[in-house]
Amino acid sequence: MKDNGSRSKAPGASTPAVTTGDSQPAASPRVPKPLVRIRGLTYRRGSLVVFEDLDLDIQRGAVTAVMGPSGTGKTTLLKLITGQLRPDAGSIEVDGLNIQGLDKPQLFKLRRRMGMLFQSNALLTDLSVFDNVAYPLREHTDLSPSMLRKVVLLKLEAVGLRGARDLMPSALSGGMARRAALARAIALDPMMILYDEPFTGQDPISMGVLIALIRHLNDAAGLTSIVVSHDVRETASIADYLYVISQGRIIAQGSPAEVEADDSEWVRQFMGGLPDGPVHFHYPGPPLAQDLLRRSAA
């Protein structure tokens, strides 16, 4: 893998890591306009506040990672960016378009330029790998069958699954399914790919393959990538810019080295994977001894 230093022109790399409270995004006049610009985002699920007044930028051409513990709303963030969910307040702009202002045809037009890798892969289970990758092409292009076949085979080749094209999704391993879904996500040559937890449940080899793929796709095709994950080391190794979110706010951001060097207790616990710290391992409850000794009411 490349070292992070060679990409020090990454967005906002000149800004020091910002910690709790101050979530000012790293936008300076000289930096080109970000591809995704989120301002004042608030999103609630019933009484649960998932995001509160969140500001976040995704720069063009970079791999931006959003990290945070399970349940902080990483998937929710991707769904907000792609217009699958609507924010309660704030604005989300993608390539200069305000997502909330778009009607369905406009939104669908924008989505053709975004590929999303779902946490669950979301492959169509009654279609083979080939037909899954061909699906968006058949929907949105007029390629001749022979041309379509070539494009699909090239996409499958890029993820190393050309030989598995006739398998059904149920016959794929977790790692293969992830790569098949990735081939489908890049079928239409999008401007941006959103990866939801690409590394969960992958063995070290396919993890390495995926890391290389994400970086390679991003640099070779000039894409913009958003990687959402709680796998700290893997994510930090490919990201140009990192956001760490917890409880609806950004608690740290910057290049991987900057976030690594952040000395706030919370960030150290998360990045170092320490079992206890500001985030407790135990769900709140009475002391163990008291619980064990109490006669059960039942």
Partner 1 sequence: MLVDSIAALGRGVLDSLTRLGRGHLLLADILRGSGEIFRHPRLLGEQIVNIGVLSLLIVGVSGLFVGMVLALQGYYVLNQFGAEESLGVMVAASLVRELGPVVTALLVAGRAGSALTAEIGLMKATEQLSGLEMMAVDPVRRVLTPRFYGGVLAMPMLAAIFSAVGILGGYFVGVGLLGVDDGAFWSQMQAKIDFAEDVVNGVIKSLAFGIVVTWIALFQGYDSVPTSIGVSRSTTRSVVHAALVVLGLDFVLTALMFGD
**Residues engaged in binding ligand ATP (CB under 6 A):** 45, 48, 50, 70-76, 119, 197, 230
- 121 vs 76: CA distance, rounded Å: 16
Phi, psi of 295 (to 5 degrees): -70, 130
Place of tokens 């952040």: 262
Binding partner 1 (rule: CB under 8 A), the pick from 2, 33, 45, 140 is 140
Place of tokens 């000289």: 30
**Interactions with partner 1, residue window 160-179 (CB under 8 A):** none
Phi, psi of 194 (to 5 degrees): -110, 120
Q: Which is nearer to partner 1, 112 or 268 (CB)?
A: 112
Q: Which is nearer to partner 1, 104 or 294 (CB)?
A: 104
Concatenating the DSSP letter of every residue in 209-254 gives HHHHHHHHHHHHTT-EEEEEES-HHHHHHH-SEEEEEETTEEEEEE
The nearest distance, CB 246 to partner 1, in angstroms, is 25
The nearest distance, CB 185 to partner 1, in angstroms, is 8
**Interactions with Mg ion, residue window 69-98 (CB under 5 A):** 75
Q: Which does 296 bind (CB under 5 to 8 A by kind): Mg ion, ligand ATP, partner 1, none?
A: none
The nearest distance, CB 59 to ligand ATP, in angstroms, is 22
The nearest distance, CB 175 to Mg ion, in angstroms, is 18
C-alpha closest to that of 126 among 135, 117, 114, 136? 135
Phi, psi of 229 (to 5 degrees): -165, 160
Question: What's the residue count for the chain?
Answer: 298
Spell out, one character per residue from 80 to 119, where the chain touches partner 1: x when CB under 8 A holds, - when not: --x-x-------------------x---xx-xx-xxx-xx
The nearest distance, CB 133 to ligand ATP, in angstroms, is 25
C-alpha closest to that of 37 among 4, 13, 11? 11
Do the beta carbons of residue 277 and residue 69 sit within 8 Å? no
Do the beta carbons of residue 193 and residue 213 sit within 8 Å? no
Do the beta carbons of residue 186 and residue 158 sit within 8 Å? yes
Q: Which is nearer to partner 1, 73 or 136 (CB)?
A: 136
- 23 vs 20: CA distance, rounded Å: 7
The nearest distance, CB 147 to ligand ATP, in angstroms, is 38
Q: Which does 70 bind (CB under 5 to 8 A by kind): partner 1, ligand ATP, Mg ion, none?
A: ligand ATP
* Residue 281, CA atoms < 13 Å, CB-side half-sphere: 5
Q: Which does 109 bind (CB under 5 to 8 A by kind): ligand ATP, Mg ion, partner 1, none?
A: partner 1
Binding partner 1 (rule: CB under 8 A), the pick from 123, 183, 227, 245 is 123
Q: Which is nearer to partner 1, 139 or 291 (CB)?
A: 139
Q: Which is nearer to ligand ATP, 197 or 260 (CB)?
A: 197
C-alpha closest to that of 60 among 91, 37, 90? 37
Which chain residues interact with partner 1 by CB under 8 A?
A: 82, 84, 104, 108-109, 111-112, 114-116, 118-120, 122-125, 135-136, 139-140, 184
- In the complex, the residues that contact Mg ion under the rule CB under 5 A are 75
